[in-house]
Amino acid sequence: MKVVRYVTAVIIGYATFVVSALLLFKFSGIKPHDDPTLSVMLLTVAFGFMFSFLGGVLAQLISKARNLWPNYILAAILAGFATFSLLQSSGNHYSQIAAIFLFTPASLVGGWVFLKRKKS
């Protein structure tokens, strides 16, 4: 049962990040691999950071773990897919670089904050 919870937690944490990004790009008309303006880049990074943090919180909430293992797995998946996308796609790579260096750690911080708040 614990493994099923962990897998579900990681899938939902990842889906939170991915679905939010897809919705942002779809409804704002932003093309993720075009050269962004500064405001588009800031919006995308803020949005991605917020939802990867939320994904990390959800991974903890669902897994009921007392450690960061679900978040480590989530972070590895985020970084892995971002790296794959970085290597396979053409155009501007700001979103993949942000995913590797900002969104991945944000998912870990989300889990860490959840655990710290839960203890107090």
What digits encode the pLDDT tens for the residues 30-81?
Answer: 887 789 999 999 999 999 999 999 999 999 999 999 999 999 999 999 999 9
pLDDT bin (cut points 50, 70, 90) of residue 14 is very high
List the alpha helices (DSSP H) in 1-120.
Answer: 2-28, 38-63, 69-88, 94-98, 104-119
Tell me the C-alpha distance between 18 and 15, whole Å.
Answer: 5
Give the predicted TM-score (pTM) of the model: 0.93
Domains in the chain, number: 1
* Average pLDDT value for the chain: 95
Residue numbers of the domain that contains 9: 2-119
